[in-house]
Amino acid sequence: MRSEGFSTQQANFIVNTGQATAHDVLTLMRRIQQKVMETYGIGLVPENMVVGEW
């Protein structure tokens, strides 16, 4: 089962709690960005650098 979610210690950290792939995590990040933009009108910019082929 793939599973990714938020850290219980840091709200802005996403953790892999199962078999989630990098693609799963990036998809979650994009969903979060979209929802925050729709709800609050705020654009979130990731602090991490994504490398590789997606």
- Phi, psi for residue 8 in degrees, rounded to 5: -80, -10
38 vs 44 pLDDT, higher one: 38
**Helix-strand-coil split of the chain, %, nearest 5:** 35, 10, 55
Query: Once rounded to an integer, what is the mean pLDDT over residues 39-48?
Result: 90
Residues 2-40: pLDDT tens digits? Answer: 666 766 776 677 878 888 888 888 898 899 999 999 999
Specify whether the CB–CB gap between 7 and 15 falls below 8 A.
Answer: yes
pLDDT value of residue 1: 45
Does the pLDDT value for residue 43 go beyond 50?
yes
pLDDT value of residue 31: 92
